[in-house]
Amino acid sequence: MKIIETRDLTRRFGELLAVNRLSLTIDEGEIFGLLGPNGAGKTTTIKILTTLLPPTSGQAMVAGFDVRHQAARVRKMIGYVPQLISADGTLTGYENLMIFARLYDVPRQEREERVRQALRYMGLEEVADKLVRHYSGGMIRRLEIAQSMLHHPRVLFLDEPTIGLDPAARRTVWEHIINLRQQFGTTIFLTTHLMDEADELCSRVAIMHLGQMAALGSPQELKTAVGRGEEVTLDDVFIHYTGNELDNGGNFRDISRTRRVARRLG
């Protein structure tokens, strides 16, 4: 079954075409990566698929429901970890999880057990009763992923899951993402602009450029297609499809947001 299906998905902000006729199908159980430079339309795409933004035109189905007309049904089926920090620093890790267990209709009898399980699974048991503002960046990300998994969603959306993390913390988060798919069969849709992240995690990737899909395939397929026999990395693939102007992506607002997140996590 196709767990995510979009047809000619388009989103306009005034003059700007953030997403331009994106058509995409994703199978259940994939780890799918959406790559692209800043401003390519990755976050807009994820916001449409998670019902945060209505598309201007075109269609998107998630877990069999239309994101525009059946938004409430879609929301029950998905988990979402925004790019920005979404855990509440003034509460403990346990409280952060408990609140979302209730917002996601986890039955009362099961809540305590699910929250404990999530804490154990993400290796946060020991800090469960500490305020989240004292957590490290990697711990915050793991808590956020735990929050978004409490209701066992069919699809998990991760927007730049390892932004601002150091390499060790990044690797732990990767391991947890891979485990989630193995244990629960969750489909994972993530955006990133780290090529090694995509290479490591994703079964298939799409490269977006200026709101359109520039390439689609497994990391290996893309490398073969671009390399023509030569040994290339996913970085080369990325540059091949998005143009090699070094510094064209990201405006002031994007950059200041990214840096702010990085500072909080670091």
Partner 1 sequence: MKFFRSLFQQIYSFSNKTLVLAELEMRKLRHDPTELLTRAVQPALWLLVFGQVFTRVRAIPTGNLPYLDFMTPGILAQSVLFIAIFYGISIIWEKDLGVVHKFLVSPTPRAALVLGKALSAGVRGLAQGLIVVVIALLLGVHLNFNLLSLLGVALAVVLGSALFSTFSLIIACIVKTRERFMGLGQVLTMPLFFASNAIYPISIMPSWLQVVSHLNPLTYEVDILRQLMLVGGTGTYQIGFDLGVLAAITIILVLIGAVMYPKVI
Question: Which 8-state DSSP code applies to residue 247?
Answer: T
Q: How many Cα atoms sit within 13 Å of 121 on the Cβ side?
A: 22
Closest CA to 191 of 258, 146, 260, 118: 258
Q: How far is the CB of 159 from partner 1 (least distance, A)?
A: 8
Helical axes 219-227 vs 234-242, angle rounded to 10°: 70
66/221 with CB nearer partner 1? 66
| Angstrom distance (rounded) from CA 128 to CA 236 | 42
Read off the amino acid at residue 74: V
Q: How far is the CB of 95 from partner 1 (least distance, A)?
A: 6
Tell me the three state secondary structure of residue 7: strand
Q: How far is the CB of 93 from partner 1 (least distance, A)?
A: 13
11/47 with CB nearer partner 1? 47
SS (H, E, C) 57-103: EEEEEECCEECCCCHHHHHHHEEEECCCCCCCCCCEHHHHHHHHHHH
Read off the amino acid at residue 104: Y
Q: How far is the CB of 235 from partner 1 (least distance, A)?
A: 28
Q: How far is the CB of 96 from partner 1 (least distance, A)?
A: 9
- Of 2, 102, 152, 263, the one binding partner 1 (CB under 8 A) is 102
Beta strands in 150-259 (DSSP E): 155-159, 187-192, 204-209, 212-217
Binding mask 114-143 for partner 1 (x = CB under 8 A): -----------------x------------
Q: Does 83 contact partner 1 by CB under 8 A?
A: yes
Q: Looking only at residues 199 through 228 of this chain, which bind partner 1 when binding is defined by CB under 8 A? A: none
- Of 82, 93, 137, 219, the one binding partner 1 (CB under 8 A) is 82
Specify the stretch interacting with partner 1 by CB under 8 A; choose among 49-57, 112-120, 225-233, 234-242: 49-57
Specify the stretch interacting with partner 1 by CB under 8 A; choose among 30-38, 78-86, 205-213, 234-242: 78-86
Residues in touch with partner 1 (CB under 8 A): 47, 50-53, 72, 75-76, 78, 80-86, 88, 90-92, 95, 99-100, 102-105, 131, 147-148, 260
